[in-house]
Amino acid sequence: MGRLTVEQFKQAKKLPFVLVLDNIRSVYNVGSMLRTADAFRVTHVCLCGITAVPPSAEIHKTALGAEDSVDWTYYKTTAEALKQLKSANYTLLAVEQIAESIPLNRWKAEKNQKYALVVGNEVKGVEQEAVDLCDYALEIPQYGTKHSLNVANSASIVLWECFRQLQNFE
C-alpha cells in the first residue's frame, strides 16, 4: 500500500498545522486524533491539561501506533501551549461554536501560514481562556437535531479540510 515507515514519516514534509487537545477526557478520542494527525501529516500535537499521554494501552488501541509516528508534547495548560505557538507565529483556530465563528465551508487557509487547531473537551468544549487566546473560531455547519459532533470526528473533518486546501506533498 506504499505506507511510510515511522522513520520516513518523521522525515516527510508535514502539513503546517499543530493540533491542540484541550482537556480531552477520553483516551480513545486522544488515540483517534493522533491517528488522524498521522493520516494528514500534522506537524505536532499538543496534549493539554487532563488529556492522557502515551504510553497507554487505551490510546494505542485507537492510535494504532500513531503515538510513535506523530510528534507530541504535554502541556499543563492549554494556555501555555497556545502562548508558545503564538510566539512561534502560528494563527490559532478554535473549533468552537461562538458568535464570531467562521463556518468551515467559508474559511480559506492562507498558503505559507502556520496554524494551530484547538479542539476541546467532550462536554465543555474549548475552555474560554483558550478561545480568548485564539485568533479565530471555526464551526462545522450542522443541519440535524444535534448541535455538536464527537471531538475526534470534528478534528478529522477540520483537518481534512485543512489538508485539502494546503496539501502540496503528493
pLDDT digits (tens, 9 = 90+) for 34-54: 999 999 999 999 999 999 999
Q: Is position 67 within any domain?
A: yes
Helix (H, G, I), strand (E, B) or coil at 51: coil
* Domain count along the chain: 1
pLDDT at 167: 82
Kindly indicate the confidence band of residue 67, based on its pLDDT and cuts at 50, 70 and 90.
very high
Q: Tell me the average pLDDT across 146-159.
A: 96
- Report d(CA 41, CA 71) in Å as an integer: 10
Q: Is position 1 within any domain?
A: no
The answer, yes or no, to whether residue 163 has pLDDT greater than 90, is yes
42 contacts: CB under 8 Å, gap ≥ 6: 14, 15, 17, 18, 19, 36, 70, 159
Q: Is position 43 within any domain?
A: yes
Q: Is position 78 within any domain?
A: yes
Contact 163, 42 (CB under 8 A): no
Mean pLDDT, rounded, of the chain: 96
- Report d(CA 37, CA 19) in Å as an integer: 8
- Report d(CA 22, CA 28) in Å as an integer: 15
Q: CA triplet 77, 78, 82: central angle to 5 degrees?
A: 125
- Report d(CA 46, CA 78) in Å as an integer: 8
Q: Give the structural domain span for 34.
A: 6-166
pTM, to two decimals:
0.97
- Report the candidate in 112, 33, 23 with the shortest Cα–Cα distance to residue 66: 33
Q: For position 25, which CATH number holds?
A: 3.40.1280.10
